[in-house]
Amino acid sequence: MTNNVFQHGSTAGMRIHVLPTKAFKTFAISLYAGVPLEEGTVTSTALVPFVLRRGTAAYPETTQFRERLEELYGAGFGFDVYKRGDYQIVQFRMDTINDSFVQSKESLLGESFAFLGEVLTRPALENGSFRSSYVATERETVRKKLEAIVNDKIRYAAERCIEVMCEDEPFRLHPLGQRSDLDGITPDNLYKSYQDWLNGAILDLYVVGDTTPEEVEQLVKRHFGRNSSETGQYSSRFTPVTVSGVRTVEEKLDVNQGKLNMGLRTSITYKDDNYASALMYNGILGGYPHSKLFVNVREKESLAYYASSRYDGHKGIGTIQSGIESQNYGKAVDIIRKQLDELKAGNISDLELSQTKAMIRNLLSEIQDSAFELISFDFNRQLSGKERTALELLDQVEGTGAEDVKAAAETFHLDTIYFLTGQKEE
């Protein structure tokens, strides 16, 4: 594994991260815009990129917008909206072919920057605000995405477990916002929200490809005319939550299969030196097919259709997801809690350790093969303020023993049990 190191700088109120490399035939461009997760702004912030992708001042019709991408030799453009810790992140992505592989008069990197700068800072307008038809259509797009969560009961149960567990924290909010807010969003107030968002967001621009930080800096100055000269900074808003007792919530919906989800709190986050131990803990608990949850709950006891765990290193939360027959609820809870106790007791086999290390090693190695994965890994550094390369993290994982995993396990405390079960006939 090579140590791919980004070169960092800033200009025009934006942090710039460039990885000069000839390893890829394309340029990967990623722009992250982060703001605090807040009830009053979460839905409008989520809606903004949906409207921005419909058209710009130069390409106001959606067909023109798409044709322009085709002219750039089929450049890819997309976006995501998600949360990291208590921040809501909008990520725009472009990938465009390296100039040396095509006969183009213009620099494709330069043209891609011009396009992305246009999308972000010069949207299609009518009467001084967003086009009403675009806002109306994209409001429905977001509404359907939020409604789809309710229809996907596995996702719904996972979201509800977080909502219950974090009811007094911004993290309870879904990154796409709340359906109840959508009807109140107009072209005028959304345009105002967009301006506030653009001026207030922490902006990180990444480029991976055959370029230099100097070239990227010039392109940013030319195509992202932001008034701000100040670059924002993510502050660690993490404060460990003390678990005083386990809260149990049961909900009934029309489901054939019960969804048993559990939420755990830990004091270990991405920026901590023992982050690798928490990764190993999650891997042994339920991150992979050889994990304790999969083997003991699903295979040995045949209690679950699926059983796995996740660890959010920016929020300090672990979650367990399982699908069970509703009558097996008590038994499933007992066996899952037994796996948590086994880890706290340090009952971890050499095979579990070596298999988990192999899985994490594969994941960290795969990062090197994808420009966007390299970007995503480095962005964790910007969010957390922790300097750690993939190679350093791998070394820490390789050096993790059963005692380290046990110590990590002792910081994970069960906070919430959420059970979604079928409607019982009266």
Of 397, 15, 6, 4, which is closest to residue 224 (Cα–Cα)?
A: 15
Average pLDDT, integer, range 26-50: 97
Please tell me the distance from the alpha carbon of residue 306 to that of residue 254, in angstroms, as a whole number.
19
According to the model, what pLDDT value does residue 424 have?
59
According to the model, what pLDDT value does residue 426 have?
38
According to the model, what pLDDT value does residue 107 have?
85
Segment 115-151, tens digit of pLDDT: 999 999 999 999 999 999 999 999 999 999 999 999 9
On the question of pLDDT at 228 being above 70, the answer is no
Please tell me the distance from the alpha carbon of residue 243 to that of residue 409, in angstroms, as a whole number.
15
Segment 74-85, tens digit of pLDDT: 899 999 999 999
Average pLDDT, integer, range 409-414: 98
Q: What is the pTM of this model?
A: 0.94
Please tell me the distance from the alpha carbon of residue 328 to that of residue 339, in angstroms, as a whole number.
17
On the question of pLDDT at 90 being above 50, the answer is yes
On the question of pLDDT at 105 being above 70, the answer is no
Residue 303 confidence class, pLDDT cut points 50, 70, 90: confident
Would you state the torsion angle of the CA atoms of residues 370, 374, 376, 378, taken in this order, to the nearest 10 degrees? 180
Residue 197 confidence class, pLDDT cut points 50, 70, 90: very high
Residue 424: C-alpha distances to residues 248, 256, 257, 304 (Å): 19, 11, 12, 20
Please tell me the distance from the alpha carbon of residue 242 to that of residue 263, in angstroms, as a whole number.
13
According to the model, what pLDDT value does residue 227 have?
60
Segment 258-301, tens digit of pLDDT: 999 999 999 999 999 999 999 999 999 999 999 999 999 887 88
Parse the chain into domains and list their residue ranges: 7-223, 247-422
- CATH 3.30.830.10, applies to 7-223: yes
On the question of pLDDT at 355 being above 70, the answer is yes
Let me know: does 175 contact 82? Beta carbons within 8 Å: yes
Please tell me the distance from the alpha carbon of residue 200 to that of residue 88, in angstroms, as a whole number.
12
Candidates 1.10.287.3610, 3.30.830.10, 3.10.28.10, 3.30.1280.10; CATH matching 247-422: 3.30.830.10
More confident residue, 426 or 300: 300
Segment 150-178, tens digit of pLDDT: 999 999 999 999 999 999 999 999 999 99
On the question of pLDDT at 425 being above 60, the answer is no
Average pLDDT, integer, range 312-326: 96
